[in-house]
Amino acid sequence: MAPSLDRERILRASSILDMLAIGWQPGRAELDTARKTECRAILQDSPERPYRFVGTLYPLQIDHPVIVAPVIAIDPQTRWARIWDEWVVIERMRERARWFAPAQVTRAGAAWILAQLRAL
């Protein structure tokens, strides 16, 4: 199911990408309350779409154990990702999920957010 793209959420995602571009990193305020995940894959269906984050939530949640969402930024070294409208902490990253370039994920996310802004 596609995320709801309302103006406030699009502007917030754009603002976060702008802050990341000048070197800001999420800190305790953002990550202490973030959901914990095991990253299973980072996928891109087409160049016009953002990459997708596929992960398992921890602690395992019976009602919704898997998360599949657009990812607009990721840093596997410091173990965080910004999926569409929330931060997630990467507790574990599967080996097959490591074959992506974080900068390319951010570029694709920024292009997608820009397209959403233009469509407003």
User: Cβ neighbours of residue 9 under 8 Å, at least 6 residues apart?
Assistant: 3, 84, 85
Q: How far apart are CA 16 and CA 25, in angstroms?
A: 10
User: pTM for this one?
Assistant: 0.87
For the chain, what are the domain ranges?
7-119
Radius of gyration, alpha carbons of the chain: 14
Q: What is the pLDDT of residues 29-40, one digit of tens each?
A: 999 999 999 999
pLDDT tens digit string along 48-107? 899 999 999 887 666 778 899 999 999 999 999 999 889 999 998 888 777 889 999 999
